[in-house]
């Protein structure tokens, strides 16, 4: 049976459920077609590779974890990630990481899993992602480890925080002796389990989609160095204020000291200028605004988290302001969901039959009133961040707003995993290109109406799509699998009577019901079939016939 690890009583938060309770125990090896792995209760890594012309083989053992896992009380599930066509990272769930040279996989003749590195890395983790790369003639493997850790300082929240540890293991050659050692360890911390976290193929950066932001935790030495740097140049300071804008207003957020009260704050608005002063100090912000405002309608309030929020109403609706105060570089502009919707609108021709930028006309592309209860999702506003591996700073932030994260999928194993976001009723698949700053996220496929359909499936556990985009699929916790094919041309003519128009293509929905009473633990889609894992059975569903 599959080595399922149930949540313990002290793993009671939504984050524990997301990271470990909803863990996908079936691992797809994207480097070889139709090749899946799972770990069984004896700590054996079992492989099933399907070749078209043969009958189904039994799963075969490719590796056995050296530790007796039953002896550990506080372990997590074992996790695997395929870093390249010949390298694998493996965790036994006790806090130990194995780096394995596997040979070419999926074929018992050339496959031999041998451990080249294994080390205890602290508390238990699961592997979120890994990549293998060669830089200046040195082979390295970078791994991302996910932990949910108790946070003694967090008295108001869940009492836990999430860490992502970015470990780089590199080949060291000393006097003809080749071995692998840890080259770098860095930790990011956040307050929610990331929906998506992946290292760039070159090992130079990291992309994370999460509801709450992550940031690098620095060592004491780094902090001291940074303080010295800050004295030398003032450029490393945090922004003095953050600002966002819509077509008709601008919102500015300024963090203010704890001891400042409402009476200490003076904000002066005029049609073209703004001035903010605290107590009797020199103005905190002062200068000419980029464009005129309706100064009598501008307001300010103090938020609970001790920040001052200022709202400016633009005199001329529409045009974007490239800066807030002319010549002032101390603020940072944050993209908000309306900017994202502009991007979405420029993609609207990909997702809707009729271009309709004018909502006054009939049939607006999306009407919020039409959304149903199941369309509302708790986390309004995840963000996509890219971190630079050298500076550990965020280089890109995109607020995803109402574009709900749905799932991720590997289309090309040499690239980063793609992620699928809900755009109105559809679902759009995005491929990150870390090496193309001008085309960092490319829209590569659309699943019509999937955004709408998945929202009604309250019991869904896993979602996936075929790497060739021919279908998307989701499964519930028990038994039921839904498969949504892409539209295909019809051989016969079909009329839509209501609208009196001819329909050229139809997209089919299929439902499969498994003959199993055990919950679904793993779910993977390939271009031809779906693999579904329960505790005791691995089901294969043929979706497309091989060409």
Tens of pLDDT along the chain (547 residues) come to 999 999 999 999 999 999 999 999 999 999 998 899 999 999 999 999 887 656 677 888 999 998 877 778 789 999 999 999 999 999 999 999 999 999 888 766 678 899 999 999 999 999 999 999 999 889 999 999 999 999 888 777 788 999 999 999 999 987 778 899 999 999 999 999 999 999 999 999 999 999 999 999 876 455 545 455 544 444 456 788 888 888 889 999 988 888 888 888 899 999 999 999 988 888 888 999 988 999 999 999 988 778 889 999 998 887 788 889 888 888 888 876 656 666 666 666 555 444 444 444 444 445 555 556 555 555 557 899 999 999 999 999 999 988 999 999 999 999 999 999 999 899 999 999 999 988 899 999 999 999 999 999 989 999 999 999 999 999 999 999 999 999 888 888 788 788 888 878 888 899 999 998 899 999 999 999 999 999 999 999 999 876 5
Q: Domain check: are 269 and 205 in the same one? A: no
Q: Using alpha carbons only, what angle is made at residue 446 by residues 379 and 468, rounded to the nearest 5 degrees?
A: 115
Within-domain flag for 155: yes
Q: Domain check: are 188 and 306 in the same one? A: no
What total number of domains does the chain contain? 2
Is residue 59 within 8 Å of 37, Cβ to Cβ? no
Q: Which of 348, 370, 400 is the last residue of a domain?
A: 400
Both tokens assigned to 255: 């963090």
Is residue 3 within 8 Å of 39, Cβ to Cβ? yes
Q: Domain check: are 385 and 325 in the same one? A: no
Q: Which of 305, 329, 353 is the last residue of a domain?
A: 329
Segment (H or E) for 223: helix 220-232
In the DSSP assignment, the letter for residue 215 is E
Q: Which of 400, 434, 456 is the last residue of a domain?
A: 400
Q: Domain check: are 192 and 280 in the same one? A: no
Q: Domain check: are 139 and 27 in the same one? A: yes
Within-domain flag for 147: yes
* Residues in Cβ contact with 530 at an 8 Å cutoff, skipping those fewer than 6 apart: 464, 473, 481, 483, 512, 523, 524, 539, 540, 541, 543
| pLDDT computed for residue 497 by the predictor | 81
In the DSSP assignment, the letter for residue 18 is I
Within-domain flag for 52: yes
Beta strands per DSSP E along 389-515 = 394-401, 405-409, 418-423, 426-432, 441-447, 460-465, 471-476, 480-485, 488-496, 501-506, 509-513
Q: Domain check: are 44 and 94 in the same one? A: yes
Q: Domain check: are 249 and 149 in the same one? A: no
Q: Domain check: are 149 and 256 in the same one? A: no
Q: Domain check: are 383 and 325 in the same one? A: no
CATH number at residue 274: 2.60.40.790
Give the integer Cα–Cα distance in Å for 284 and 278. Answer: 7
| pLDDT computed for residue 373 by the predictor | 57
Within-domain flag for 425: no
Within-domain flag for 520: no
Q: Domain check: are 192 and 289 in the same one? A: no
How many angstroms from the chain centroid is the CA of residue 488? 30
Give the integer Cα–Cα distance in Å for 432 and 201. Answer: 11
Q: Domain check: are 28 and 122 in the same one? A: yes
pTM tops 0.75: no
Expressed as residue numbers, the domain containing 128 is 1-219+379-400
DSSP 49-112: E--TTSPPPPPEEEEE-SS-GGG-SS----EEEE-SSSEEEEE-SSSEEEEEE--S-SSTTT--
Within-domain flag for 525: no
| pLDDT computed for residue 193 by the predictor | 95
Is residue 145 within 8 Å of 126, Cβ to Cβ? yes
| pLDDT computed for residue 343 by the predictor | 62
Within-domain flag for 233: no
| pLDDT computed for residue 70 by the predictor | 72
Q: Domain check: are 214 and 249 in the same one? A: no
* DSSP-assigned beta bridge partners for residue 168: 142, 184
Within-domain flag for 491: no
């Amino acid at each position: 049976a599959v080595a399922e690890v149930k949540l313990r009583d002290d793993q009671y938060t939504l984050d524990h459920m997301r990271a470990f309770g909803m863990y996908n125990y079936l691992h797809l090896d994207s480097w070889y077609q139709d090749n899946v792995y799972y770990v069984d209760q004896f700590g054996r890594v079992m492989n099933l590779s399907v070749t078209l012309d043969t009958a189904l083989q039994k799963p075969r053992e490719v590796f056995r974890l050296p530790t007796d896992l039953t002896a550990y009380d506080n372990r997590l599930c074992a996790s695997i990630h395929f870093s390249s066509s010949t390298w694998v990272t493996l965790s036994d769930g006790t806090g130990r990481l194995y780096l394995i040279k596997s040979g070419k996989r999926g074929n018992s003749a050339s496959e031999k899993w041998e451990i080249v590195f294994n080390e205890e890395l602290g508390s238990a983790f699961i592997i979120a992602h890994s990549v293998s790369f060669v830089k200046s003639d040195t082979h390295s493997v970078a791994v991302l480890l996910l932990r949910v850790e108790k946070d003694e300082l967090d008295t108001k929240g869940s009492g836990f925080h999430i860490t992502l540890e970015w470990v780089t293991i590199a080949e060291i050659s000393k006097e003809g002796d080749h071995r692998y050692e840890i080259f770098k360890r860095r930790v990011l911390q956040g307050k929610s389990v990331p929906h998506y976290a992946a290292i760039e193929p070159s090992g130079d950066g990291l992309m994370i989609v999460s509801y709450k932001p992550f940031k690098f935790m620095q060592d004491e030495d780094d902090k001291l160095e940074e303080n010295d740097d800050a004295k030398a140049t003032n450029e490393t300071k945090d922004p003095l204020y953050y600002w966002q804008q819509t077509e008709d207003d601008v919102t500015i957020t300024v963090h203010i000291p704890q001891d400042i009260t409402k009476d200490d704050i003076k904000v002066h608005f005029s049609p073209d200028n703004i001035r903010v002063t605290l107590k009797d100090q020199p103005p905190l912000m002062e200068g000419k605004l980029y464009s005129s405002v309706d100064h009598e309608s501008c307001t300010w309030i103090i938020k609970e988290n001790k920040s001052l929020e200022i709202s400016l109403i633009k005199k001329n609706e529409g045009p974007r302001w490239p800066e807030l105060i002319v010549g002032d570089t101390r603020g940072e502009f944050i993209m908000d969901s309306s900017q994202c919707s502009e991007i979405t609108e420029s993609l609207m021709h990909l997702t809707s039959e009729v271009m309709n930028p004018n909502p006054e006309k009939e049939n607006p592309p999306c009407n919020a009133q039409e959304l149903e209860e199941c369309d509302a999702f708790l986390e309004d506003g995840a963000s996509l961040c890219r971190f630079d591996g050298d500076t550990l700073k965020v280089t890109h932030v995109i607020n995803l707003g109402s574009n709900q994260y749905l799932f991720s999928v590997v289309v090309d194993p040499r690239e980063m995993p793609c992620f699928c976001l809900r755009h109105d009723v559809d679902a759009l698949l995005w491929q990150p290109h870390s090496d193309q700053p001008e085309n960092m996220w490319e829209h590569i496929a659309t699943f019509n109406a999937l955004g709408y359909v998945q929202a009604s499936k309250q019991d869904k556990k896993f979602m996936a799509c075929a790497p060739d985009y021919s279908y998307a699929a989701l499964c519930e916790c028990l038994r039921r699998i839904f498969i949504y094919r892409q539209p295909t041309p019809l051989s016969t003519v079909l009329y839509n009577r209501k609208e009196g128009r001819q329909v050229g293509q139809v997209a089919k929905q299929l439902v499969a019901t498994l003959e199993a009473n055990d919950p679904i633990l793993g779910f993977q889609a390939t271009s031809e079939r779906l693999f579904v894992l329960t505790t005791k059975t691995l089901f294969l569903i043929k979706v497309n016939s091989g060409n």
